[in-house]
Structure 1
C-alpha cells in the first residue's frame, strides 16, 4: 500500500489536457500571473496579500516520482513567498525548496503561509514522500515549518518544527510512512498542521518546535468504480481552519477513487473528528468569514478521475442551504482567503509552473442556493450544542 498526497497525478492530467484559456467572469480581476504552482494565501499584518509558490523544481538531486516509479522529481531552490500590494507583485522570500518533474508539474514545496499575532510569518514546506527521502535530497527543510526571518527578497529562514519526522517515528494512521504537510493555522503559540500524507492533524509548538498528534483521520470503505467489492479510501486531510471559538475544522481531499460527493468537513473537538458537513468533492481549502460562515473550496467538483479540473467556492449558510458563489473560471484552484469589502482572493491554476494566477473576486448574494444533504440537520444540532495532485493507494 502506498499513500501519497501531492499534485503529481493532477499535474499529469494538466499535461494531457492543457490549461486552455478559460474566460473569467466579469467580477474577476487577475492581480498576479505567471506564478509557479501557487498554493497558500494569507493577508499579512500590513494588509498585503501573501502567496506561497511551490516552485518548479530543478535539476538534481532527484527521487522517484511517487506516482510513477520510472520517472523522477528533482530538487531546485525555486520556491518563493510572494507579496501582492498596491498592484505590485514581489517575491519577498526566494530560494525555498521545491520538488517537481522536468516540466514543473508534480510540484511540492512551499504550501502555506500564516502570520502569528505579532506579525511573524511562517511558511510550511511539503514533501509528498517517505521522510527518509530527505537524506537523498540533502534538503532537511522538506516537511518542516519555517520561521521567516526577513521579507527582503533573500533566503533567510529558520526551520522550527519537523512535521515529517513525527510521521516517520509515529505513523499515527498505521499505513505506509508518508508525509506531506499542506495547510496550517496558528492559535496562540501553536501551529495546527494538516499532514495530507500522514492522514493526521498535528500540532507544533512555535516556541520549542515540539510536534504532537492532534487527531487522526481513518480510511473508510467506498464503492469501487470499476466494480467488485467496496475498497478502502484514505481521508487525505489537507485543509484546516479555526472557528470563532478556536475549534478546528478539517477538510479532506480524499484518496483514490476520489468519489464525487465523498469529501467531508470534520469538526475536531478534544482530538476526535466529527462529521460537520459532507457531500463535497476534493476539498482543497476552507475558512470562516467575519460572520462565522464556513466557505469550502473544491479542487475538482466532478472528481479527479473525470479529468475535469473545474473547481467551486461554496458557502454554508446558517439556514441549512449552500450557496455556490463561484465555479465558472475556476481551474484547479488551490486556496483562498478573505480581503476587505467582500473581496475573496483565490489561487487559480495552482498546479503548473509559470501559469498560476491570483484572482480577486467580489461576490453578491444573487448566486444559486441549493439544499444541504439531510445530514445537515444533524450538523446543525452538533453546532448548537458545541457552540493538489497526487494521491494514490496502490
Structure 2
C-alpha cells in the first residue's frame, strides 16, 4: 500500500464520513521501541472459519463480539462487485464455541477466482445496544466509498458506510454521505470508517479515508470532530480509537502504510489531539491492557506498497510513553482487530482477509 487512500481500500474495507476542524500536530520524537525478549508469545485459536473478521468488542460477561464483513455474494463473477447478505456478528463466550448472533447483514466484495480469498466490506465493529436491544454496528462500504457506489448496489446496501442499529435498522450516522458532502481533507471522495467508540448517546468514529474522527449524536447527523494532519507527505489514515473512563481519547493512524509512519494521538477532554508516540508501523487497532496501558496492533511490518508481511503487537506505557515490542514472530498474518477481555486476555482477529479467518488468544 502506498500513502494514498486509493491503495488503502485494497487492503481493508472502505466507506465514509466528515466535516471540518483541523487538529494541530504536536511535536513528538519517534517511538524508541524495545523488544521484550523475556516472553515467548503463545497463540491459541479460539474461533475459526470467520469471514473477513474485523473488530473485537469485549463484553462484561467475559464474552467477545467479532464483526464479520462477510464474503459479499457467493458465486459473484470474478472482477464484478456484488452485494450479499453474508455480514454477521459473532459471539464467542469465554471457553465456549462461537455463534452468529446476527446474520444477513449487507456485505459487498469484488468476486475472485478463489472465493476463499475474497476481501469483503461490511460490519467492521459491533457493540451491544443495551438501550434498544440488538447491536450498534459500524459498517464499511469498499472503495471508492461514495454514495454512487452504494446506490449502484441497491437499497439493501443502505447501511453500508454507516453506523446503524440492528434492532430497528435506524442509521445513526451516514458516513458516506458526510464524506461526499463535506470532503474535509480536500482530497478524493473516498470514505473508510474503521472503528468507533460510544460517546454519550452517540458515537465517535475514525475514518481512514477522510483522515478524521467524526462525531454523531445518534440522530442521524454528523460533524467532524478532529482532522488528523499528514505525517510529512503520508496520509494519516486514522484506525483504532479507545476512550478512558475520564473521557481521554487515544487514536491510532497508519501513516499511509509507510514503515515508521504510524502515530498514536492523545486527546484529553476539551483539547485537540497531540501526538503521544510516533515511529510505529501500520497500526490498525488499539486497546487498553489489564494494566491500563495501550496495546497497538500492526497489520504488517513492511510498507503496504508491497505484499504485507507478518503483523506485530506493541505495548505503550502511558506513564512514560515507552514502547515495547512483544515478540510474536510470524504468527500474526494480516491481523485486523484487537481486544482485551475482562480477565486481561489479549485477542486478535487473524487471517482477516478471506473466509478462513481466526480469532486467536495470545499468551505472553
The structure showing larger relative contact order (alpha-carbon pairs under 8 Å, at least 6 residues apart) is 2
Once the two structures are superposed, the pairs formed by residues 191-210 of structure 1 within 5 Å of their partners are 191-206=203-218, 208-210=219-221
- Contact 2:81-2:109 at 8 Å conserved across structures: yes
Higher mean alpha-carbon deviation, 49-58 vs 156-165, is at 156-165
- Contact 1:28-1:361 at 8 Å conserved across structures: yes
- Contact 2:138-2:194 at 8 Å conserved across structures: yes
**Residue matched to 1:111:** 124
Aligned-partner SS, 1:135: helix
Higher mean alpha-carbon deviation, 166-175 vs 95-104, is at 95-104
> What per-residue deviation string (whole Å, max 9, x for no partner) do you get for residues 114-152 of structure 1?
246758631101123223211111121111112122xxx
> What per-residue deviation string (whole Å, max 9, x for no partner) do you get for residues 284-323 of structure 1?
0012234321111111022223524311111112344322
- Contact 1:48-1:84 at 8 Å conserved across structures: yes
The root-mean-square deviation of aligned C-alpha atoms, in Å, is 2.6
Gaps of 5+ in 2: 14-39
> What per-residue deviation string (whole Å, max 9, x for no partner) do you get for residues 325-351 of structure 1?
242211111011111433111111111
- Contact 1:56-1:107 at 8 Å conserved across structures: yes
Once the two structures are superposed, the pairs formed by residues 178-327 of structure 1 within 5 Å of their partners are 178-206=190-218, 208-221=219-232, 232-255=233-256, 258-269=257-268, 270=270, 272-317=272-317, 318-327=319-328
The offset of 1:72, in angstroms, is 3.7
The offset of 1:157, in angstroms, is 3.6
Higher mean alpha-carbon deviation, 2-11 vs 275-284, is at 2-11
- Contact 1:343-1:361 at 8 Å conserved across structures: yes
Distance 1:92 1:157 in 2: 16
- Contact 1:350-1:356 at 8 Å conserved across structures: yes
**Residue matched to 1:130:** 146
Distance 2:177 2:69 in 1: 21
- Contact 2:311-2:334 at 8 Å conserved across structures: yes
Gaps of 5+ in 1: 12-24, 63-69, 150-155, 222-231, 364-394
The offset of 1:101, in angstroms, is 2.3
Are 1:121 and 2:135 an aligned pair? yes
**Scaled by the length of structure 1, what TM-score is found?**
0.75
Are 1:169 and 2:177 an aligned pair? no
**Scaled by the length of structure 2, what TM-score is found?**
0.81
Once the two structures are superposed, the pairs formed by residues 338-377 of structure 1 within 5 Å of their partners are 338-353=340-355, 355-363=356-364
